[in-house]
Amino acid sequence: MIKKAIKKLISFLPQKLIEVYLVSKFKYDILSHSQHGEDVILRNLFKHKKNGFFVDIGAYHPYIFSNTYALYRSGWKGINIDPAPGKMSLFKKERPLDMNLEMGVAEKAQILDFYTFDKSALNTFSYNRMLDLEKHGYKVQQKIGVQTMPLGAILDKNLVPNQPIDFMNIDAEGLDLEVLKSNNWLKYRPSVIAVEDGDFDIENKDASSIYRFLKEKEYTLVAFMQKTLIFSKAELLCMHQ
């Protein structure tokens, strides 16, 4: 009973307060903020990179299930993009050094239906994804129209000229490939890309349209964690050999 009560109490504590306690108690400052430890892999890939730049599409939360928060804490900055209404007010508070955009990403500029759930990590533009979630017992709370733009156009508008992108994170709940296709690959080539693919099979990589797309763009798969694929450009891999 006591252990359950302690766990329940901890669940109500702010994440930052828990971090401060762990650091002071155990002198341990290597914490993962990602859902499956993706930022541990990223920390290793970028261990020699200071003051890097990221683009986080489907950013969800400033530090919960975030693949970019550890980078932000280490001195990086970037652009966070999420379509959920009101989401960016928390980002502006917790990550004021970033550019925080409340909008969607799609292959063309348009208004798309956005489905929200009580578990906001499941919010999606994908009609098929929404139907699948409903089959598993999740209920749509709202269907709202949200403005979307191609990723390449968003970067054209918001990046300073010649700004390199060290890391791009994509978590678009079923529309990840569409987000990738909406980029201008002749102009914007991130050094490392993390992207969700819930159907990825490590034994049959070429069955994944996301894997094939990034392979054609001359990226190499360097890690696979649960449903997150992490790709790197060849030149970055050479630096770690």
Q: Domain residue spans in the chain?
A: 1-31, 33-103+151-239
> 122: which 2 tokens?
């499941």
pLDDT band at 121 (very low <50, low <70, confident <90, very high): confident
pLDDT value of position 6: 52
> 237: which 2 tokens?
């891999």
Mean per-residue pLDDT, 186-196: 97
Look at strands 110-117 and 140-149 and give their pairing.
Answer: antiparallel
Residue whose pair of structure tokens reads 């348009």 in the numeric block: 110
> What are the E-state strand segments in the chain?
53-57, 77-82, 99-102, 104-105, 110-117, 140-149, 167-170, 192-196, 219-225, 228-233
pLDDT value of position 58: 94
Mean pLDDT of the chain: 87
pLDDT per residue as tens digits for the range 158-176: 999 999 999 999 998 888 9
Give the integer Cα–Cα distance in Å for 227 and 31: 20
Give the integer Cα–Cα distance in Å for 84 and 123: 8
pLDDT per residue as tens digits for the range 130-152: 999 999 899 999 999 999 999 99
Residues 131, 132, 133, 136, Cα dihedral to 10°: 120
pTM of the model: 0.83
Neighbours of 241 (CB within 10 A): 4
H or E stretch covering 69: helix 69-73
- Which CATH code fits 33-103+151-239? 3.40.50.150
Residue whose pair of structure tokens reads 């890690």 in the numeric block: 223
The conformational region for residue 126 under phi > 0 = left, psi -120 to 50 = alpha, else beta, is: beta
With CA atoms as reference, report the closest residue to 214 among 238, 232, 241, 199. 232
